[in-house]
Structure formats: structure tokens, C-alpha cells
């Protein structure tokens, strides 16, 4: 049995013109890659001053429970030359009511400056550049810090937090009311008809009286600090808090729960 073997023919050398074109193509490709890398590097290279300008605003420094707060104003104005954080990055001015904050947030007495950090973090610093607290960015205009042996603290940008909160137009429409999630007992319409400043007309169907009580059926609704308020003509209120599932539940909890969910 014979086996045929393929032998490649002799390699042909490139002519001068082809060689020049190949070299030019290689050089052009290398230049484009280098330019692309430099462009990407420049896009990610934000100066401390630019980062500070993006973060400078009014903030609320609070403890985890939110019952102790301190209003801070972070400025984009750099402190005098030579005043740097321990890592060498520039420090920026801030202002707050030191007397009021000292009673609410004990470590605020150590705060003298601030600096931006990678990942949009915010560093609160002592006058010598030492770290007081490092706040990492969370969601909805909130930054979080864990102080060893002290607890969790938050920096909240009210402007960003308010923008992220539920707005009345998010709730206009028909909703199911239930004692048990998924088992609606009646329906109500959260209308867009104004009743008074910041309140809108509420249209519950006849079965809702069994859940509210005939004499205490609410006729208006509004949002207050992120909660949904259902209110009667006499001013009696039911407060609903948003749940992670996307519906709303009456708060504080008791033995007569109520749940509101968008009607299908």
C-alpha cells in the first residue's frame, strides 16, 4: 500500500513593496493599540480635585439607628499646601456645628478635613491627615463606615437620597389590600386627584370597610419620609412601609396586619 505525502512547495519571498506594506500595517496596529490604552488610562485618571468636586455637598452623618445625626458640608476647596492625608493625597475643607455634633457623634471632635478615595469613597480625617472613618459608597446616596469597637455609621447625601425615594407618581393606580400577602380582600385606587398640598384622593371599594372599620375608612393618601400614609377625614392615620418584596405593610406591626400590593 502506498501512502502519498504532501510536500509544501518552496516559500516565496515578499517583494519590496509587499514588505513595506506589511511593516506599515504592523506599525499602524501597534500605534492604535497604544493610543487606545492611553485613552482608556486618561478616562480613568481622575484628579483628587475633580473627585472632590464630584463629592462635595451637604451630608448627614448618622449612627446605624438614625437617631443621632450631624450635618456636614464637604467642600471642594483644598486645604493649604503641605496639608495632606497620610497617603500623600490632598485634604479638603469641611464645616459643621462642632458643639452640636460632639453630643450626637462622639468621634466628630476628631474630624478636621476630608479626602476622596478610590471607588468614590469618602475619608474623614484628623488635622494631621490621620484617618477617622472611611465611608464606602452604597446605594441611593448613602455611604457606610464600620468603626472598630464603635459601630456602623452612615453618610447620607439628602439630595441623592430624596431623588431615589418613591415619588407619588410611582404609586398612582389600583392596589390590593390584604391581611395576608397574595390574598387580597379589597381594592383601592391611589388617584392623582389632589386633596390638599401633597395629598391625593383615595378611592377604596366597599369591601375595604371590613378591614379598616366602617367609621375609619381613609379617603386620602400621601408620602411622608418614604412611608405611605392613608388618612381619614378626621386625621386618623395608617402608616405603611415599603418591603423588599416591593409591596407595602402596615407599621408598626400588630395582630391585625395589612399589606398593599399593585393590582395585577
Gap between the Cα atoms of 251 and 240, Å rounded: 6
Residue % of the chain over a pLDDT of 90: 57
Number of domains in the chain: 2
Would residue 179 count as lying in a domain? yes
**Residue 136 pLDDT level (bands cut at 50, 70, 90):** very high
DSSP state of 15: P
Q: Are residues 212 and 225 in the same domain?
A: yes
Q: Are residues 145 and 221 in the same domain?
A: no
- The answer for residues whose C-beta is within 8 angstroms of residue 255's C-beta and 6 or more apart is none
Q: Does the pLDDT value for residue 191 go beyond 90?
A: yes
- CATH number for the domain spanning 238: value is 2.40.128.10
Q: What DSSP line would sit under 128-190, residue for residue? A: TS-EEEEEEE-STTEEEEEETTTEEEEEE-HHHHHHHS--GGGT-EEEEEEEETTEEEEEEEE
Task: List pLDDT tens digits, range 166-182.
Answer: 889 999 999 999 999 88
Strand pairing class (183-196; 199-204): antiparallel
Please write down the long-range contacts of 76-85, taking CB distance under 8 Å and 24 or more positions apart. Answer: 76/49, 76/52, 78/49, 78/52, 79/113, 83/113, 83/129, 84/129, 85/113, 85/115, 85/123, 85/125, 85/129, 85/131
Strand pairing class (121-125; 113-117): antiparallel
- The answer for residues whose C-beta is within 8 angstroms of residue 211's C-beta and 6 or more apart is 177, 179, 185, 186, 258
State which of 163, 198, 227 marks the end of a domain: 163
Would residue 159 count as lying in a domain? yes
In terms of residue numbers, what domain contains 233?
A: 168-262
Q: Are residues 175 and 149 in the same domain?
A: no
Q: Does the pLDDT value for residue 74 go beyond 80?
A: yes
Would residue 25 count as lying in a domain? no
Gap between the Cα atoms of 79 and 82, Å rounded: 8
State which of 146, 163, 180 marks the end of a domain: 163
Would residue 187 count as lying in a domain? yes
Is-contact 79 91, C-beta < 8 A? yes
- pTM beyond 0.75: the answer is no
Q: Which of 148-152, 182-186, 250-254 has the lowest mean pLDDT?
A: 250-254
- What integer pLDDT is reported at residue 13 of this predicted model? 38
Q: Are residues 175 and 202 in the same domain?
A: yes
- What integer pLDDT is reported at residue 211 of this predicted model? 87
| Exposure letters 120-156 (e unless 16+ CB within 10 A, then b) | ebbbbbeeebeebbbbeeeeebbbbbeeeeeeebbbb
Gap between the Cα atoms of 253 and 25, Å rounded: 72
Gap between the Cα atoms of 217 and 41, Å rounded: 61
Cα→Cα distances 53→28, 74, 149, Å: 38, 9, 32
CA geometry: angle 199, 263, 239, nearest 5 deg: 40
Amino acid at each position: 500500500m502506498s501512502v502519498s505525502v504532501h510536500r509544501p512547495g518552496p516559500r516565496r519571498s515578499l517583494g519590496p513593496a509587499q514588505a513595506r506594506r506589511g511593516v506599515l500595517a504592523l506599525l499602524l496596529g501597534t500605534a492604535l493599540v497604544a493610543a487606545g490604552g492611553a485613552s482608556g488610562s486618561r478616562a480613568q485618571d481622575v484628579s483628587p480635585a475633580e473627585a472632590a468636586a464630584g463629592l462635595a455637598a451637604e451630608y448627614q452623618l448618622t449612627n446605624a439607628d438614625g437617631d443621632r445625626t450631624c450635618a456636614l458640608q464637604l467642600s471642594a476647596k483644598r486645604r493649604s499646601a503641605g496639608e495632606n492625608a497620610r497617603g500623600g493625597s490632598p485634604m479638603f475643607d469641611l464645616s459643621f456645628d462642632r458643639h452640636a455634633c460632639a453630643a450626637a457623634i462622639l468621634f466628630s471632635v476628631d474630624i478636621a478635613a476630608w479626602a476622596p478615595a478610590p471607588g468614590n469613597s469618602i475619608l474623614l480625617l484628623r488635622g494631621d491627615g490621620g484617618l477617622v472613618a472611611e465611608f464606602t459608597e452604597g446605594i441611593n446616596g448613602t455611604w457606610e463606615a464600620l468603626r472598630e469597637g464603635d459601630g456602623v455609621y452612615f453618610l447620607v447625601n439628602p439630595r441623592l437620597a430624596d431623588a431615589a425615594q418613591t415619588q407619588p407618581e410611582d404609586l398612582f393606580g389600583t392596589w390590593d389590600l390584604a391581611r395576608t400577602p397574595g390574598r387580597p380582600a379589597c381594592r383601592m385606587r391611589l388617584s392623582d386627584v389632589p386633596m390638599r398640598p401633597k395629598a391625593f384622593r383615595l378611592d377604596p371599594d366597599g369591601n375595604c370597610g371590613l378591614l379598616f372599620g366602617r367609621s375609619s375608612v381613609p379617603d386620602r393618601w400621601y408620602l411622608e419620609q418614604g412611608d405611605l400614609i392613608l388618612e381619614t377625614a378626621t386625621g386618623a392615620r395608617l402608616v405603611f412601609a415599603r418591603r423588599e418584596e416591593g409591596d407595602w405593610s402596615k407599621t408598626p406591626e400588630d395582630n391585625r396586619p395589612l399589606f398593599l400590593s399593585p393590582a395585577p
